[in-house]
A = this chain, B = another copy of it.
Amino acid sequence: MSLTLKVHFTSTTYLNFRSKHSALTSYNTQIRPKPICHFNPLTSTSFKPKKMHAPVQSSSTSVIKSSLIEPDGGVLVHLVLPESERGVKTVEAESMPKVRLTKIDVEWVHVISEGWASPLKGFMREDEYLQSLHFKTLRMKDGSTVNMPLPIVLAIDDETKEGIGSSSDVGLVGPDGDSIAILRSIQIYKHNKEERIARTWGTTAPGLPYVEEVITPAGNWLIGGDLEVLKPIKYNDGLDHYRLSPKQLRKEFDRRKADAVFAFQLRNPVHNGHALLMNDTRRRLLEMGFKNPILLLHPLGGFTKADDVPLDVRMEQHSKVLEDGVLDPDTTIVAIFPSPMHYAGPTEVQWHAKARINAGANFYIVGRDPAGMGHPTEKRDLYDPEHGKKVLSMAPGLEKLNILPFRVAAYDTVAKKMAFFDPSRAKDFLFISGTKMRTYARTGENPPDGFMCPGGWEVLVKYYKSLQAEEATQQPAVLPS
């Protein structure tokens, strides 16, 4: 899968100042015509900035609003207890029936506790689960709708359920037995795995990474409730400083006086095609009148499948890309998005976008086959590669986010650089898939000049060589007869 794509801005690309108060407020800005609003969001030419604060037209000393986009539900959820309460609550947690978490459960505690899933305040109870599973939304008390495409749930087995008995609260303990959180006012309900998988992935074929890793081995019950997290989740892997919470990110955007934030979700190394896209997006936002658009380069840091490049290697690679000047450090924030990966295509891309709303991004870039993978048992993509961006543009609850669809780019063998794919001279373009990139790195062959900055490429070569060395040591010393 080649990943560099083109933003489609058209002649109808103007700002639409539909803020909550647009009927009442006169902005001190040049009023531009409203964009033609295509209902069908599928056409590649539809781009319509939505519900945002007007870019500041006067001096840079103007007051900039602290939030470019409201978190879902209006308030950013934050469930980590203040230090003053931790001692008492930890003692309390230890007196409760226990639920042992897996590593991935802890990632979800992290995600929920920092408000990435706002307005969700804990693992889903059945009413939230059913709404998420069937409608990909939650209805708020005021009748409004927020997007919530993935069930964020905690599974327990029969024995744990029995141990909980009639207790209304439970203590959550990590894989090593340390107290992590309290789950209050719990509800236990059936975990129909088949239905959960079918409605989330649109298939029940064996071999879905998250299903095999998380759902199949899980218990037959789900437990929902309100989370109280005893202390911030840390991984102590040398990367915690990259794990900025939505609150920290919003503060950083304010500190940098961002008047637009565009988020780029990725789980792969950054090549020059990605960079072309991100730089092009920034240029266009500047052309539109924004003075200080900030890029949130936001690699996913939770569970990924075995053949994806691990997080530490990716972070090193991303650093090199900034060091090499491919992306501008002054207008880029690199941070880790702590969610596990579902590989659930059009359903998951909504989660990726929704979480970035909560982190304060008001533009979201989406390319070909987001969160997709090959079908686990058939020789085809699991999802139609165009469905992700289409479904994202339709998704209820994401109306306030500006979706930036982009087209595939590839290596232009004439210009000798990554460029937007031109179908009129298709033969000049070389698609460099992840598999191909891996083959280059493994064999020590260099990819074409201009595919990736040398510093970034070196990181990958080093990683793949270490992998080969590791594989070699895992070969049995004597072949079985």
Contact = CB atoms under 8 A, between A and B. Distances in A.
Interface of A: 39-42, 126-127, 130-131, 134-137, 139, 141, 143, 145, 190, 192, 194-195, 198-199, 201-205, 346-347, 383-384, 387, 390-391, 394-396, 399
Contact of A204 (B41, B190, B198, B387): B198
A127 B384 contact: no
A199 B203 CA distance: 8
Nearest to A204: B204
20 contacts: A39-B127, A39-B139, A42-B126, A42-B127, A130-B387, A130-B394, A131-B394, A134-B346, A134-B394, A135-B137, A139-B394, A139-B396, A143-B399, A145-B396, A194-B202, A195-B202, A195-B203, A195-B383, A198-B201, A199-B202
Copies in the complex: 2
Nearest to A387: B130
In the complex, which of the residues A130, A190, A347, A390 has the most CB atoms of chain B within 10 Å of its own CB atom?
Answer: A130
Given A39-B139, A198-B198, 11 more contacts: A41-B127, A126-B390, A127-B390, A130-B390, A134-B347, A135-B135, A194-B203, A195-B203, A198-B201, A199-B199, A204-B204
Contact of A203 (B127, B136, B204): B204
Contacts of A136: 134-135
Contacts of A190: 384
Contacts of A383: 195
A39 B399 CA distance: 23
A43 to B, nearest CB: 10
Contacts of A198: 198-199, 201-204
A201 B198 CA distance: 8
A138 to B, nearest CB: 9
Nearest to A145: B396
A134 B42 contact: no
Contacts of A127: 39-42, 390, 394
Contacts of A126: 42, 390
A394 B135 contact: yes
The 3 closest A-B pairs by CB, nearest first: A195-B202, A198-B198, A198-B202
Contacts of A390: 126-127, 130
Contact of A137 (B131, B205, B396): B396
